[in-house]
């Protein structure tokens, strides 16, 4: 993602109810979120000026915060409106939207119940998450060293900043080896997800995907499942062991940033970029593209 540093760009960011200059959207070094990961966020895309499933993302943002024991002081409708306002001010039609909520700096320590809760929303241009040429032929995934934790040890259904620490480590390790990303197992050694996307496989005309019981049940994941079933594809959500990957034919990942991206390789396992994957790629892009009003 080449371009200027993210703290040195033109534009505005919605910050606690006000539009502020992009370069002035700052927090103090003793902000609780920086020390104790008390922050939640969303990743959203706009297509043709419309934010895809904006309300679903705003609802999840609010729920993520509740799971971290704080309440965002804006309603879902207010968050939706703020996102649309920032998008309009950006002048972009196709863009990435990043709402972020966090605990402030009033108290420093594990307990921070009196801290102010902040919300900021930024919008920028962000094309395909992966190299476009590589994406079309299928990306290569490494096997991650770290695993998704037992849901009894972390709020795994929250899109919480702290849960992405092992994702950054795993993606860095994968990229140093020449891979695009990494596949993570869960705490029981079963297939879970990639560092920022859910994973699907095909076999015997059916689609198989891990049960989202210790990782995020992505909004894109649910959208693609609905699209697949509308096509008449059988979708089976179940525990998947790593050695089962040898018997799968196709593989793809889904996420707001990744959209629907084919996978050609996971460690020693190889996959074909086949018709089911291509069909769902096309169906997803049709679903997110705003429909023009008939004349």
Residues marked active site are found at: 159
Show Cβ contacts of residue 167 under 8 Å, excluding neighbours closer than 6 positions. Answer: 184, 195, 196
Residue 127's SS3 state is coil
Residue 87's SS3 state is helix
Provide the pairing of β-strand 191-194 with 44-47: unpaired
Alpha-carbon distances of 212 from 153, 157, 222, 239, rounded to whole Å: 16, 9, 11, 9
Contact between 256 and 196 (Cβ < 8 Å): no
Show Cβ contacts of residue 277 under 8 Å, excluding neighbours closer than 6 positions. Answer: 202, 250, 251, 252, 260, 262
Phi and psi at residue 82, to the nearest 5° = -65, -40
Q: Could you tell me how far CA 88 lies from the centroid of its own chain?
A: 22
CB atoms within 10 A of CB 247: 11
Tell me how many helices (H) and strands (E) the chain has. Answer: 7, 16
Please tell me what DSSP assigns to residue 110.
S
Residue 258's SS3 state is coil
Tell me the residue length of the chain: 295
Give the relative orientation of helices 275-288 and 219-230 as an angle to the nearest 10 degrees. 110
17: left (phi over 0), alpha (psi -120 to 50) or beta: left
């Amino acid at each position: 993602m080449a371009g200027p540093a993210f703290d040195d760009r033109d534009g505005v960011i919605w910050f606690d109810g006000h539009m502020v200059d992009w370069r002035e959207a700052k927090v103090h070094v003793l902000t609780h979120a920086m020390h104790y990961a008390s922050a939640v966020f969303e990743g959203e895309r706009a297509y043709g000026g419309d934010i895809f499933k904006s309300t679903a993302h705003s609802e999840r943002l609010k729920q993520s915060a509740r799971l971290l024991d704080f309440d965002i002081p804006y309603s879902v409708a207010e968050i939706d409106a703020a996102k649309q306002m920032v998008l309009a001010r950006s002048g972009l039609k196709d863009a990435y939207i990043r709402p972020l909520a966090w605990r402030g700096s009033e108290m420093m320590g594990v307990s921070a119940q009196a801290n102010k809760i902040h919300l900021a929303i930024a919008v920028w241009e962000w094309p395909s998450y992966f190299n476009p040429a590589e994406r079309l032929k299928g990306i290569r995934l490494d096997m991650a060293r770290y695993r998704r934790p037992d849901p009894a040890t972390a709020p795994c259904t929250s899109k919480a900043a702290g849960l992405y620490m092992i994702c950054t480590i795993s993606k860095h390790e994968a990229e140093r080896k020449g891979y695009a990303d990494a596949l993570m197992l869960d705490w029981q050694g079963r297939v879970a997800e990639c560092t920022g996307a859910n994973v699907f496989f095909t076999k015997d005309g059916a689609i198989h995907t891990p049960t989202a019981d210790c990782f995020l049940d992505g909004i894109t994941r649910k959208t693609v499942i609905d699209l697949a079933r509308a096509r008449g594809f059988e979708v089976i959500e179940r525990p998947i062991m790593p050695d089962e990957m040898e018997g799968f034919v196709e593989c793809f990942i889904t996420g707001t940033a990744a959209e629907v991206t084919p996978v050609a390789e996971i460690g020693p396992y190889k996959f074909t970029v086949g018709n089911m994957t291509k069909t769902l790629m096309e169906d997803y892009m049709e679903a997110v593209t705003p429909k023009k009003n008939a004349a």
